[in-house]
Chain A
Amino acid sequence: MSTTISTVALGDDIAALPRARPAPPARRRPPLKLAALWPRVRGWLLAWPVPLAVLALWQLAASYQWIPAQILPAPLTVAATFVDLFNTGELQSNTLISLQRVLFGFLTGAVLGLALGVAMGLSPLVKDYLYPTFKAFAQVPSLGWLPLLMMVVGIDEALKIILIAKSTFVPITLNTYKGLQGVPSSYIEVAKVYGFNRWQMLRRVVLPAAFPPIWNGVRYGLTHSWLALVGVELLASSEGLGFLIVYGRQLYQLDVVLAAVVVVGAVGYALDKILALIEARLLRWRRDAF
């Protein structure tokens, strides 16, 4: 699945074009007026009515028992459970375990993916030998590997790390490879004119030009690793956020399930935001160039 996502989001043509353009001077420093702030405030205010109305209706439905609490516990119950789980430390410990797994799996997959992607991107020989096998490997979704892996390595930590690493590995390899391939040959020609040696070429031209698509791959990799983590924890685990969800489900405590689901969403969001912030920092040179 990762194949298409990454290629869709990453046309080779946009891969290495400088994105930044000099901002029109008028917009650079908007005067600090209330009128200028209004659209943002309005956007923020308007985001609330719908979810609040839904929550209110949901709360009403629960307190008048239109829906049994086993099917849908009231939002206030969920909030109380959330606080409870937080106070007992269960929420933090399970989140920590899940984060650890993602970190290890993600790092393993990212290192392997970058290595293979760079090798295939820089050497046509390596690409000819490995790319078809890689594509075949990538065709089976991560979850499809799960039953076989369960039989071969059991259901311990190794299973989770391998599966998360696999789901990170595929998008990072693909985007690194495509990113390096997409470096315009004109850049390389110019560098040759300047008499760059191989190392300078790599360090000063190829890697900076290929960085945005590679970083895109890293972001996809992290998103996928979080997705895979939840999947594998649902199927085989005795701790972690996915386990908390399964546990709540088995006891018919949907408040626990929902509280864990909220954390799953929040962590996934935070992980992506962190990478976006790093990207903004790393790519500052692009703006400085103008």
Chain B
Amino acid sequence: MSLNPVSRDWRGLVLPAVFIAVWALVTHAGWVNTKLIVPPEKVLVVAWDYIVHGDFIKALLASLTRDGAGFVAGSLAGIALGSLLGVSRWAERLIGPTFHTIKQISLFAWIPLLSIWLGYNDTSRIVFVAVSVFYPVTLATFEGVKSVTRVQIEVAQVYAFTRSQLFTRLILPAASPQIITGLNLGLVYAWLATIGAEFLLPAYGDVGLGDTVIRGRAAFNVELVIFGMVLIGTVGALLNQLATRLEARALRWRGDR
């Protein structure tokens, strides 16, 4: 390849540019139903209006709060169960099979049950997000804790570590790469679950990006739905990037081995 990466960047933009041009063309020439397929600039107008006058900030914050609360709750529970299963062979034998069986149940199948047990409110949404985070974090923690070698434990015993020292000074740091990978995955799941919960556990008067999109659909506001989708994708991508950065940072102490 003779071209350097910088001058090659524009090629990735060709397809989206063509797409937008065709989109603008067909809507302005009146070849399609412009109620259903709205002109691109109208999306921008609605987006601007929503950001300036609507509850964009409120919706974004509400969604992120749910995402965060569910993520923290699910990760803590996941790290706890994963450590237990990893440290105790009896726990693994007794609870492991049940955990692996329940894990098979498709995530969304929990929604109707949650809606009956907890109602259509923020609690059930946050619990749903937490459940979605719980599985990957538990599995990752379990694998991480299992990767601690016998030799490492023996050295810790020679140094007369107490049980809590053993856990906080050896097991958790040794398992941290896997745990962090699990948390990273959990963050991705959490965002998906947040949007899913806002779609599937709708509550009147609640704000959130998912709620906005659903309301936009009900009002047949195609512009708002498209903008909402773009927002959902962007926030997801940003969370992803953030997680990757934090992972690299958190694992820097390991150096290049």
Are B105 and A231 neighbours in the complex by a CB distance under 8 Å?
no
A4 within 8 A of B: yes
In the complex, chain A residues whose CB is within 8 Å of the CB of B233: 136, 139-140, 144
Knowing A50-B94, A124-B1, A144-B233, the reply to whether A8 touches B107 (Cβ < 8 A) is no
Give the interface SS of chain B, mostly helix, strand, loop or mixed. Answer: helix
In the complex, chain A residues whose CB is within 8 Å of the CB of B96: 47
Are B229 and A234 neighbours in the complex by a CB distance under 8 Å?
no
**Residue count of chain A within 8 Å CB distance of chain B:** 58
- Least Cβ–Cβ distance between A59 and chain B, in angstroms: 17
* 8 A Cβ contacts from A140-166 to B: 140-141, 143-148, 150-152
A254 within 8 A of B: yes
B115 within 8 A of A: yes
* 8 A Cβ contacts from A1-46 to B: 1, 3-5, 8, 42-43, 46
A265 to B108, CA, bound (A): 11
Knowing A1-B189, A8-B184, the reply to whether A46 touches B113 (Cβ < 8 A) is no
In the complex, chain B residues whose CB is within 8 Å of the CB of A235: 199-200
B98 within 8 A of A: yes
Among A5, A234, A264, A265, which residue has its beta carbon within 8 angstroms of that of B200? Answer: A234
Knowing A124-B1, A230-B108, A264-B105, the reply to whether A140 touches B12 (Cβ < 8 A) is no
Knowing A129-B12, A133-B16, the reply to whether A140 touches B108 (Cβ < 8 A) is no
Are B236 and A133 neighbours in the complex by a CB distance under 8 Å?
no
A288 within 8 A of B: no
In the complex, chain B residues whose CB is within 8 Å of the CB of A54: 98
A268 within 8 A of B: yes
Nearest chain-B residue to A228 (Cβ)?
Answer: B108
A124 to B11, CA, bound (A): 12
Are B106 and A151 neighbours in the complex by a CB distance under 8 Å?
no
In the complex, chain A residues whose CB is within 8 Å of the CB of B98: 47, 50-51, 54
Knowing A141-B236, A152-B36, the reply to whether A47 touches B97 (Cβ < 8 A) is yes
In the complex, chain A residues whose CB is within 8 Å of the CB of B236: 1, 139-141
- Least Cβ–Cβ distance between B147 and chain A, in angstroms: 16
A226 within 8 A of B: yes
Q: Map CB proximity to A onto B180-223 as digits: 1 under 8 Å, 0 otherwise.
A: 01001100110110011001100000000000011011001010
Give me the interface of A with B, judged by CB distance under 8 Å: 1, 3-5, 8, 42-43, 46-47, 49-51, 54, 70-72, 124, 128-133, 136, 139-141, 143-148, 150-152, 226-227, 230-231, 234-235, 242, 245-246, 248-249, 252, 254, 257-258, 260-261, 264-266, 268-269
Q: List 8 A-B contacts (CB under 8 A).
A: A1-B191, A51-B101, A130-B15, A133-B16, A136-B16, A150-B217, A231-B108, A265-B101
Give me the interface of B with A, judged by CB distance under 8 Å: 1, 8, 11-16, 36-37, 93-98, 101-102, 104-109, 111-113, 115-117, 181, 184-185, 188-189, 191-192, 195-196, 199-200, 213-214, 216-217, 220, 222, 225-226, 228-230, 232-234, 236-237, 240, 243
